[in-house]
Amino acid sequence: MQTEKNIAYKTMLITGASRGIGAATALLAAKKGYVVAVNYNKNKEAAAKVVDTIKQQGGLAKAFRADVSKEEEIVRLFEDVDAEFGNLTSLVNNAGILEQQSRLENITRQRLQRIFEANTWSTFLCCKEAIKRMSPKYGGNGGTIVNVSSIASRTGSPFEYIDYAASKGAVDAMTIGLAKELADENIRVNAVRPAFIYTDIHSDGGEPNRIERIKETIPLKRGGLASEVAEAILWLASEQSSYSTGVFIDVTGGR
Ligand code: NAP
């Protein structure tokens, strides 16, 4: 008998998929035939809305609450996704946070811890759980991992959030190393590096209209849409990018 667990679905787990880039990725993934595990932390209603939209369009999705800055919640998240859908084929490490713009000397150790736990440790620890499900060494059939980094890893974000930029720089280094580590296990690891995308994150950074302020300095003269980042993520997760691993797609309007 075919149940949800034993049909060979492509299942994609997206961390932080209740809003912004993660939500857009969830909607596009469902359109491309993935069963979608929509992770969220605080925003249950927004996650439910993403799931409802997918279901209304004939897709299959479920919301899973977990704070991915906490290892025990990550472990439980992957177990819950296993129990619901079984076959994890793609992981998108998208959840991320930003704090108020600040010079480095005003950044506290506690803030550094929050930023690195949410942006960096979460990515490492989610990859760890994904490898245990995807690698042939553990009985898996391979898969794809896409990390959502930021162009901040290249610019360093002076006077704004060097902590955030460094947390993404670590993700970039990990993407390169892990891609090589997993290359002969049929697991590809890539990343997107967005910038200036219209989402709530700029309010968290203390400047909701940041994109409007700087858009004339962006070669394409506009901010980007979450759906434009989702397209790059889905390409890296798909068979269409089968000869690419350890690479970055910058989605930055040319900056
Ligand atoms: P956003 O609109 O603020 O959404 C952030 C998402 O992450 C929300 O779904 C939130 O869940 C989730 N999240 C945050 N902390 C979490 C945690 N500890 N556990 C689980 N989920 C958590 O942000 P966004 O702009 O879409 O950003 C998505 C990713 O893109 C981030 O990694 C960000 O650094 C990166 N990025 C964005 C831009 C940009 O211009 N927007 C540029 C470069 C990179 P809740 O709703 O439940 O709180």
- 253 C-beta closer than 6 A to ligand 1: no
In the reported structure, the alpha carbon of residue 226 is separated from the centroid of ligand 1 by a whole-number distance in angstroms of: 11
Where exactly are the structural domains of the chain? 4-251
Give pLDDT, residue 9.
Answer: 73
Catalytic-residue membership of 243: no
- C-alpha 254: how far from chain center: 21
Give pLDDT, residue 5.
Answer: 47
Give pLDDT, residue 3.
Answer: 44
Give pLDDT, residue 6.
Answer: 42
CATH 3.40.50.2300 at 4-251, yes or no: no
Which ligand 1 atom is at minimum distance from the Cα of 65? Answer: 20
- 148 C-beta closer than 6 A to ligand 1: yes
Give pLDDT, residue 86.
Answer: 84
Residue nearest to atom 32 of ligand 1 (CA): 96
Phi, psi dihedrals of residue 247, rounded to the nearest 5°? -115, 165
Which residues of the chain are under the pLDDT cut of 70? 1-8
The secondary structure of the chain as a DSSP string is ---TTTS--EEEEETT-SSHHHHHHHHHHHHTTEEEEEEESS-HHHHHHHHHHHHHTT--EEEEE--TTSHHHHHHHHHHHHHHH--EEEEEE----------GGG--HHHHHHHHIIIIIHHHHHHHHHHHHH-GGGT---EEEEEE--THHHH--TTT-HHHHHHHHHHHHHHHHHHHHTGGGTEEEEEEEE-SB-STHHHHTT-TTHHHHHGGGSTTSSPBPHHHHHHHHHHHHSGGGTT--S-EEEESTT-
- 48 C-beta closer than 6 A to ligand 1: no
Residue nearest to atom 3 of ligand 1 (CA): 201
Catalytic residue, candidates 40, 161, 164, 243: 164
Residue nearest to atom 12 of ligand 1 (CA): 16
